[in-house]
Amino acid sequence: MEAPTKGAAGRRGDRKKAVSKSIKAGLQFPVGRVARYMKKGRYSQRLGTGAPIYLAAVLEYLAAEVLELAGNAARDNKKNRINPRHVLLAVRNDDELGKLLQGVTIASGGVLPNINPVLLPKKGNSASAEKSLSPKSPTKN
């Protein structure tokens, strides 16, 4: 005689393999971790089920956008590896990302190459201006 299995676990049979919320949503960013941070942060008393999924999707989109532009900047500089300089160039050269990250300092990013046009030498008139300013040598008779 077999002993009956105890509890509800025996009646359920085989359990299905667990599927994460990130896989269900089709995301790479961790939905469960985002939900935990939102709960711990106490941003509100209650938290809807769709809120962490939405936030994870937004964060994943922003990360993909920055990485794509930084990869293009690295390729323009003939590099295979993205470094902070490439991230800075990508963010500052994009209008929307530049506005979003306006007050952000990227460590080891440097600055955008920029020369004020006033400081550049004038075109065209520079050769004739130099000739008129240079003293004429006295001619010997």
Q: Is the pLDDT of residue 130 over 80?
A: no
Residue 65 CA to residue 134 CA, distance in Å, equals 55
Tokens of 68: 């794509």
- Look at residue 1 in the predicted model and tell me its pLDDT: 61
The residues, ordered by sequence, that sit 6+ positions from 88 with a Cβ below 8 Å of its Cβ are 106, 109, 110, 112
What pTM, to 2 d.p., does this model score?
Answer: 0.75
Q: How confident is the model at residue 14 (pLDDT cuts 50, 70, 90)?
A: confident
Query: 78 to each of 6, 26, 71, 82, how far by Cα in Å?
Result: 66, 33, 10, 11
Burial-class residue 98 by CB neighbours within 10 Å (0-12, 13-18, 19+): middle
Burial-class residue 135 by CB neighbours within 10 Å (0-12, 13-18, 19+): exposed
Which pLDDT tens digit goes with each residue over 85-122?
A: 999 999 999 999 999 999 999 999 999 999 999 999 98
- Look at residue 132 in the predicted model and tell me its pLDDT: 56
Tokens of 22: 């990130």
